[in-house]
Each structure stands twice: as structure tokens, then as C-alpha cells.
Structure 1
Amino acid sequence: MASTEGLQAYEEEKLLLPLPKEKGWASRHLYLFQHFWCPSTHIEGVNNFQKHFQAKDSDAIVASFPKSGTTWLKALTFSIVNRKRFSSFDNHPLLTSNSHELVPFLDFIFHGDNIQHKLSYLCNMTEPRVFGTHIPFPSLSNSIKESNCKIVYICRNPFDTFVSSWTFFNKIKSDSLSEVTIEEALEKYCKGIIGFGPTWEHMLGYWKESIATPNKVLFLKYEELKEDVNFYVKRVAEFLDCPFTEGEESDGVIENIIKLCSFEKMKNLEVNKSGTVGRNVEKKYLFRKGEIGDWINYFSPAMIEKLSKTMEEKLSGSGLSFKTCL
């Protein structure tokens, strides 16, 4: 009888063989799986998640396209929903754990076999459970779509997302892969060939759902969150049915959450300076600059024109737009 590992590899091979594939940015291949480009290392987890995850009505899902403010929004959401449980900001889990450890990615949880063990882990998690995902809305499990759980989605100006992705993936790439030049990366990006891309379809999937079911999906922009973080922290709390009381506001709870989850605070914590998270990604690579508009230091005029035209074509008529200040 075949070993569990052999059977698993066979199933993965059968799943991957018919799919279109392209050279990945940080992993060897991206596969066009359910209309999005999925890293080969993630497909098993996505597939298992879709089959086995059972959402609870009290769950909160932090959804995002990679490099759009995920680490920050995970920290904010975890702090907001758990503020009664962890009321001391001098002894908070975020001081000793990375937000990706406190808010695990759903496809990471379901990677590998031993599904029953994973389901037992999920059942025993303290509620409200908070999860993360980069999976596009159409490919979320049916239980998420059919339950009353809530999704907080964050996106970012595609210019900054692109630069952040390019620098990040070149740092974490396999040693056997050569660095991707910025021109080659932009060509792939505009064609949608990036992990969990195309970017446009990813954003528009959650954008349209936030309009159709505003009580289900809250759509945020990274730039607006940075501009008025106090307002959006309150907005997230209201959306997740745990609004701040007047007493909490007067006691500075909102300001304490914002300070605890700030880029500068998290980047300088010892827990985020060393060690790895997820698929052996070094934590220090999760914190680069966190700035708005840094893309201007990387783009040539021809690159600006190329991405601007792509954005205009892909987002036209959707109502979703981004400021591009030159």
C-alpha cells in the first residue's frame, strides 16, 4: 500500500498536471488554479481548506492581496476583537508573537495531511477566531460565504504593492532561483502572473462583494487606513460587532491599540527581528518601509505608463480607483 506521503504527492501531481503554469517570483512555479495564480506550495492547503474548513458565525477573516498591509491589519483586528481578553498593553501577545502567528493563514493551517488533527485544533481555538487569507473571494470555502462570519479586506495602490512584492519575493526566493528584474516583474504583474493574482481580479472580487453585502465584507484601502487610523479602527470594531464604549474611548484604548500595532513598534520588537513565520519566511522581511508613494523611487516613465494603462483598463467602470501622485 502506498505511504501517506506518496499518496499525497500523487494527488498533488494529478491536481497540478493539467493546470497552466508559469515561472514563479519566489517559488519555482505558479499554477492557474481556479482562475488565480497559486504558488505550487499553497495549492494543497487551499484545496484542503475548501473541503474541510467550517466557519463559525463569530469568525473574523482578514483578507488581502499579498504585500497590501496584511501584517498590520492582522495585528489591529486581533487587538480589537481580543481587547477584553488582553486588556494590558504592557503584557500583550503582540509583544511576544508576530501577528501571523496569532492570526494564521487558513491555507497554511490545512497544508499537509492529518486533517482531523487540524480540525481539532480549529475547534479548540478561543472565540472569536481570527484568520487570514490571500485567497480570492470566489475560491473561499462555501462555509465562509454561507455563514455570518465577517471579512475585513485591505488593498493598496498597485504601484506600491508591486514594489513591495518585488523586493519581498527577491529576498525570500529559493536559492536555486535567480533574482527577478524589476522590468520582468512588472511584465508579469501587468499580466496578472503573481501569487494569488491577477491583482485586479482579487481586489474587484472583494470590492463587488462589499457593495453587494456590506454587512459581510468591509473593504479598506491601506492609504486611507494610514491617513485616519483612529477612524478606521473604530469602523472595524463596529463592523465586527464589538464597538468601543465611551469609557474605552476616554481611557485611550483606541490610541493604545494603534500604538501597539504601529509599523515602528512592530518592526522594532525583538520578536520581529529574528526567526521565521509561515513557510520559513524571515520575520524581518515583513517590515520594509510601510510608506505611501515609495514606488516613485523605482519606476521609470515607461513603467509608470505601462502600469497606469493596465490599471485603467482593468478597473474601468468598477468604481474602484487609486490616487497616483507624481
Structure 2
Amino acid sequence: MAPNAPYEICFVPKSREEEEEDEKIYRRYKEITATTLPIAKGLLGEPMYQYQGFWYCSRLVGVGPLAVQDHFKARASDILIASIPKSGTTWLNSLAFAVINHKYHPPSAQQQHPLHKFNSHDLVPMLEMRLYNNNLNGYRIPNLDILPSPRLFGTHMPCTSLSQSIALLGSRIIYICRNTKDNLVSWWHFLNKIRSDLSLEPMKLEDFFELFCEGMSTFGPFWDHVLGYWKESLERPQNVLFLKYDEMVAEPAFHLKRIAKFMGCPFSSMEEEEGLVGEIIKLCSFENLSNLAVNKKGSSDHTGFPNSAYFRQGKVGDSENYLSLEMMEQLDRITKQKLHGSGLTL
């Protein structure tokens, strides 16, 4: 039997009155999503709903985004790993966890490292998908106060919908994005892995492409999501670090040092001389993590989705093997139009 994910300690027993109050809160959110928000056919057999301009898959998040917004109370020391799905989230989670815990869990002792026992999504739990997701946890609001600082969380929510306490208290956010074409193709592959596990027919690339371009992918529109965090990184660079997956693949050591410094735990000259940067990169590499038993055969949450679904190739430019020339040109046109004047290129 797989060990319990570390974040599960947040679901402590509550009194009957507290449980009833939690249930009342979640039922109100369900009513809101079912009766007052725009609804569309979902990608995983259940409807998507649009909340504050972005689309959410009810199967994946339940009413988690609404609960996060109202109930998550940030600390100034919190670090949030943010992304739109299929942008390098699993890798960045692993790197951030390894960096912040390198004194307690040396990457050189790989066999004993938590990343050998847990998928990184269990070590850096998504607020809306793991902690506040009624589909996974029932009608229970987690007690995150019991977690020691600094707390490390993940999110796919757009920055405009995050709990206001994050900006007010100055919590740090590390955002990763990916070029549009690779993100789309990676999403499509991931989607069809999950659809297969749910005994659903695979979605044609052409159909998913059309939805993606219309902004109706999960947590989309893609461009609005990326631009939101980009603008925040320009306005609050001390609180928001903006990363590009493609650049991290090209220069992992350079960007890992940026991440460590931003998180408040820069590598010392001695640590660099002793090879700590290289050890973390090796520990968190696609080749290493994808071949671990926990990621080849394990399942990281109650949905039953396999951890292997988080690992396909991780290559830059793989979309050229799937998208037609017309598709790539259309995506380039949309991306250029959406990002015009922002200073951001993808």
C-alpha cells in the first residue's frame, strides 16, 4: 500500500458542527457552479464551468477554485508554484521541493529522498485540485495552519482569481509557462491518457485544437492565463518569478540558481563547488523521475489517475510532429495578437 501523501495530515477530524458547516459551504459552491455560471461540455465526460473568465473541469477540481478564493489564508513565507497545465509543472514542483529541503533531504541520498516515494504533486499539493477539491476530499475544508513554514503549494488558477491574502502578505509565486504549440500538444496527449483511463473515446487533435484556440481548454484561455502572471511579474518582481520551460531546458543550472535565490535559500559557493546544483538537476531530471517505481506504477490521488500520465517526453519542439503547418501558423497568429504590446514572446 502506498504511503499517505504528506498533505493529508491537513484533513484532521472535526466536530459534527464543523463538518456540517463545511458541507453547507461546499453545497453552496456547487449550487453556484450549477445554476449561475456558464457551462460547456467537458473534456473528461463532465461539464466545464467558467468562473471569473476561466474554464474549470468539474471532474478535476470540483468547486475547488471557489473554496480556495474564500478560505485559503496565505502566509508571507508561502511559496506558490503556479502554471497552466502541461507547462513543466511536475519538473518545477520537483526542483522547488528539492531546493527548499536540500539540507534535510540531500539530493545525493537519492534512494531515501521523498521524490523516490511520492510524485511531486503529492509533495507540492495543488490548492484547487488536491486541498480544496470536494471530489477528492468530500465536503472538508483542510486545516493548513498545522503545516510548518515555509509552506509550498501549487496552483493552476489564474492570478486574478487567487486568494487576496497572497498578494497582501507578499507570498512568493514562481510561474512557469511553455510555448503555445508544445503546451497544446502536451495537453492533448495528457487528456487522452486520462480519457482512456475513464473508458472514454480519444479526442481528435483537430477537435481539441479548435477548443484550445477558442480559449476553452481547462484553466484557459491559455494566453490570458500566461499574460496575467507576466504582468504581475513586471509589477511585483520581488514576489513573482516568471519562467519559461524552453529556457529552463536549455540552461537548467542557471535557472535553478534563480529559483533558489528567489525562494530565499540561495546556494552557497561551497554548495556549488560540491556539486549540489548538479545533484538536484539529476535528481529531478525527466529521465530519473519518469523511471521511478512511484511514477511508473503509482497513483497520486483518489481519482486513480496514474502518475505515469505526468511523464511523456518533456521535449521542446515535439509539437512539430503532430500539428499541421496551418495549425502552427494559426497558433502563431493568435499568440502574436494576444501578446502584442506586452513584451512577452512565446
Please report the TM-score for the alignment, with normalisation by the length of structure 2.
Answer: 0.87
Match of 1:309 among 323, 333, 340: 333
* AA partner of residue 53 (structure 2): H
Question: Residue deviations 1:231-283, cap 9 Å, x none?
Answer: 00100111111111011111111110000000000000111111212433211
| CA-CA distance at 1:310 after TM superposition | 1.2
1:134 aligns with 2:156: yes
Question: Residue by residue, what CA displacement relative to the aligned partner does 1:75-132 show, whole Å, maximum 9, x if unpaired?
Answer: 00011111112125322111111100100001120123232xx11xx22223211100
Distance in 1 between the 2:276 and 2:203 partners?
A: 44
Give the SS at the match of 2:81: strand
> Is residue 18 from structure 1 mapped to residue 29 from structure 2 by the alignment?
no
Q: How far did 1:10 drift?
A: 6.0
- Structure 1 counterpart SS, 2:331: helix
Aligned to 1:73: 92
Q: By how many angstroms is 1:194 displaced?
A: 0.6
1:1-326 aligned at under 5 Å gives the runs: 8-9=26-27, 11-41=29-59, 42-87=61-106, 89-90=108-109, 91-107=112-128, 108-112=130-134, 113-115=139-141, 118-119=142-143, 122-173=144-195, 175=198, 177-278=200-301, 279-322=303-346
Which runs of at least 4 in structure 1 moved beyond 4 Å after TM superposition? 3-11
Identity %: 43
Alpha-carbon separation, structure 1, partners of 2:107 and 2:95: 15
The one-letter code matched in structure 1 to 2:325 is: P
**Conserved? CA contact 2:94–2:284, under 8 Å:** yes
**Cα distance, 1:148 vs. partner?**
2.1
The alignment partner of 2:77 has SS state of: coil
Which SS does the other structure have where 1:276 is aligned? Answer: coil
Tell me the SS of whatever aligns to 1:281. coil
Given the superposition, is the C-alpha separation of residues 6 and 251 from structure 1 closer, same or farther in structure 2, using an over 3 Å criterion? closer
CA gap of 1:6–1:104, structure 2 versus 1, over 3 A, is closer
Alpha-carbon shift at residue 176 of structure 1 (Å): 5.9
Deviates more, 1:17-26 or 1:77-86: 17-26
Where in structure 2 are there 5+ consecutive unaligned residues? Answer: 1-18
* Contact 1:60–1:151 (Cα < 8 Å) also in 2: yes
Residue 43 of structure 1, CA deviation: 4.5
SS in structure 2 at match of 1:153: strand
C-alpha distance in 2 between matches for 1:135 and 1:10: 20
Structure 1 gap ranges (5+): none
Structure 1 residues 253 and 43: CA distance shift in structure 2, 3 A: same
Aligned partners of 2:280, 2:50: CA distance in 1, in Å? 39
Q: Distance in 2 between matches of 1:40 and 1:12?
A: 10
Q: Which amino acid aligns with 2:300?
A: V
Please identify, of 70-79 and 278-287, the stretch whose mean Cα deviation from structure 2 is larger: 278-287
Distance 1:28 1:179 in 2: 15
SS in 2 for 1:210: helix
CA distance in 2, matches of 1:164, 1:55: 31
In the alignment, the residues of structure 1 paired with residue 262 and residue 45 of structure 2 have an alpha-carbon distance, to the nearest angstrom, of 36
C-alpha deviation, 1:168, in angstroms: 0.5
> Could you state the TM-score of these two structures normalised by the residue count of structure 1?
0.92
Per-residue displacement from partner, 1:147-191 (whole Å, max 9, x unpaired)?
Answer: 121000000001000000001101102736432211111110011
Offset of 1:6 from its aligned partner?
A: 8.1
Instruction: Call closer, same or farther: CA 1:85–1:232 in 2, change over 3 Å.
Output: same
Distance in 1 of aligned mates of 2:307 and 2:218? 19
Q: How much does 1:35 deviate? A: 0.7
Quote the offset at 1:47 in angstroms.
1.2
Partner secondary structure for residue 277 of structure 1:
coil
Q: Secondary structure at the match of 2:170?
A: coil
